[in-house]
Structure 1
Amino acid sequence: MKKEWRKHEKEIYLPKNKPELVEIPSFNYFMIKGKGNPNEETFGEYIAVLYSLSYGTRMSYKWRNPPQNYYEYTVYPLEGVWDIADKSKYIPGVVDKDNLAFELMIRQPSFVTETFANQLIELTKQKKPHRLLEEVEFKTIEEGRCVQMLHLGSYDDEPISFEIMKQFCIQNDLKRISMKHREIYLSDFRKTKTENLKTVLRFKVQ
């Protein structure tokens, strides 16, 4: 049976547009770090490199020696962990996109090992060379206890949803651990009207 995250992992990827407390287990990711404005053209290169590897994983069943325990699945969505690059320049309530630090990532299925990941990166360097492949990492990340909700509409309106999440934390005696937050992009911004964009917002709490 094909594993499809939209069907089989709704609690992780398809929350309602109101806050909820969740426990996120550990998953494997291809990830890459960067800084700067996500509206810059170069930002798309980071995304392209991650998808190149993710679709390489998806098609690896065609290899002469395919990965052990391979199963059919749907490629996972792009995710981004966002923070402030230079905190000395941070002004509360003001979003300076030029002062953002990001970690972009795409989850990989459970059969992907570190050995396979390294092999795939080297193979991709040969077939689809790109300077950013040198910066890609394969990591296991466990988010743990988090508050999340679905944000509908423009990325610029996310502060409205974060305020709702903040109030949820206050009401439930939860404390946000840091200003870092995760975004999971359920919509392709290149093909979706701004008002129809769907983004999962999530941050760690204790």
Structure 2
Amino acid sequence: MEKIDYKKMFKELYQPEAVPKMIDVPPMKFIQVDGHGDPNEPEGEYQKAVEILYALSYTIKMSFKKQQTAIGYHDYVVLPLEGLWQVEDNEEFDSSNKSKLYWTSMIRQPDFVDEAVFKIAMELTRRKKPQLALEKARLVSFTEGLCVQCMHLGSYDDEPATLQKIKDYAEENSLLFDLSEERRHHEIYLSDFRKSDVSNMRTVLRYPVKKR
């Protein structure tokens, strides 16, 4: 059976153009881990969260192949890392002071992943990697709703230029940014910064909006 690649199935979510467009994002399942502080800190909280997410995601992918009939498993490509970001006091997103960042790091899961599958994956991962703080992870259904998104090309530090394009689009189309504890600045990391030339890095930037 051919692997399902959700990035190809849902191009509108993972392959936007480098110009802003409005999108209504449907409900999806994610494993999430919350944290605070500089994501670039070596061995820091963010790096540990990412390790937890990938450990659980690959455990789910590899451990349930023999139970296809029972749980509706299908082989698939593990989805990319994503992040929801906000600044202390719910100020407008600004990555220049990384110590003030609050984040939710997350990876989307296929529809067959429910609480029972997640619980088993937690137990299996804990046996393999007891050093991970798996209690920080949770499985959620996340509904983002109306957003404006755009593909950002290049360094994360150059994101303000792409965010300005998103702001201009929102203003021109009578849309207001709708930031809150639940609706935050959203990034989807399609490139591995450890392996990619900075100029070729691709990141989906997504902002929640509402109509005036």
Deviation string for 1:132-181 (max 9, x for gaps)? 21100110001011100000001011111111000000000011101720
Superposition RMSD in Å: 2.0
Q: Which residue of 1 aligns with 2:136?
A: 135
Distance change >3 Å, CA 67–CA 30, structure 1 → 2: farther
Q: SS of 1:17's equivalent?
A: coil
1:72 deviates by: 1.3
**Distance across 2 between alignment mates of 1:92 and 1:161:** 13
Letter in 2 for 1:156: D
Deviation string for 1:94-150 (max 9, x for gaps)? 721010000000000000011111221122111212342110011000101110000
Q: SS of 1:205's equivalent?
A: strand
- Compare 62-71 and 37-46 and name the one that shifted more: 62-71
Give 2:89's match in structure 1, choosing from 82, 87, 96.
Answer: 87
Q: Which residue of 1 aligns with 2:120?
A: 119
Q: Give the share of equivalent positions with the same residue, in percent.
A: 39
| TM-score in terms of structure 2 length | 0.90
Q: Within 5 Å, which residues of 2 pair with 1:1-206?
A: 1-41=2-42, 42=44, 43-62=46-65, 68-84=71-87, 86-87=88-89, 95-178=96-179, 180-206=184-210
1:56 deviates by: 0.8
Distance change >3 Å, CA 92–CA 115, structure 1 → 2: closer
Deviation string for 1:63-118 (max 9, x for gaps)? 5788510011111000000001x328x69867210100000000000000111112
Distance change >3 Å, CA 66–CA 16, structure 1 → 2: same
- Residue segments in structure 1 that go unaligned for 5+ positions in a row: none
Q: SS of 2:34's equivalent?
A: strand
Distance change >3 Å, CA 67–CA 185, structure 1 → 2: farther
**Distance across 2 between alignment mates of 1:122 and 1:58:** 14
**Distance across 1 between alignment mates of 2:54 and 2:186:** 18
- Residue segments in structure 2 that go unaligned for 5+ positions in a row: none
| TM-score in terms of structure 1 length | 0.92
